[in-house]
Structure 1
Amino acid sequence: MTTVSLTKTRSGFANVPASFEIGNYDDGSSSLVSCANYALPDGYHVAKTIMDEDAIFDASNRYCEIIEHSSGRPQLVSGAREMPVLATVN
């Protein structure tokens, strides 16, 4: 099982959704919501983009956007039919 650490932050504006960043960035800022480890589905992996930033890619090596699911957990969107919602791991 592949895991990834994600930091969830809020901008402070009601019409701007939460965002997720790869890594644990608990800097004590007021925008920090949580830092947690999540299990990636089979075939999904973390790799570098052409801009040398960490990102999640699906089984077809497509870049995944990380959005907030209605449950508050991160959801991966890559243009594929599957849009998995990630589960936390300890």
Structure 2
Amino acid sequence: MTTVLLTKTRSGFVNVPASFRIGHHDDGSSSLVSCAEYALPEGYRLAKTTMDEDAIFDASNRYCEIIEHSSGRPKLVSGAREMPVLATVN
């Protein structure tokens, strides 16, 4: 099982959704919501982009955007039909 550490932050504006970043990011501001380890679905992987940034890619090697699902958990969106919602690792 592949896992990824994600930091969830909020901008403070009501109409702006939470954002997720790969790794632990705590700049000391009050925008930090949580930092947790999540399991990636089968076929998804953590790799570097051409700009040398950490990113998640789907089974077809497409870059995944990480958005907030209505449950508050991270959801992977890559343009594929499947858009998995990640579960925390216990």
Fold shared per TM-score above 0.5:
yes
Identity of aligned residues (%): 88
Match of residue 72 from structure 1: 72
RMSD after superposition: 0.8
2:9 is matched with: 9
Per-residue CA deviations over 1:43-90 (Å, capped at 9, x if unaligned) read 000101111100000000000000000000000000001000000003
TM-score (norm 2): 0.96
Other structure's SS at 1:5 match: strand
Q: Please give the per-residue CA displacement for 1:27-49, whole angstroms capped at 9, x wherever unaligned.
A: 43200000000000000001011
**Residue 55 of structure 2 corresponds to which residue in structure 1?**
55
Gaps of 5+ in 2: none
User: How many residues of Structure 1 are paired with residues of Structure 2 in the alignment?
Assistant: 90
CA–CA separation in structure 2 for the residues paired with 1:20 and 1:30: 15
TM-score by length of 1: 0.96
Partner Cα distance (1:17, 1:64) in 2: 17
1-structure distance, mates of 2:37, 2:27? 17
CA distance in 2, matches of 1:35, 1:44: 20
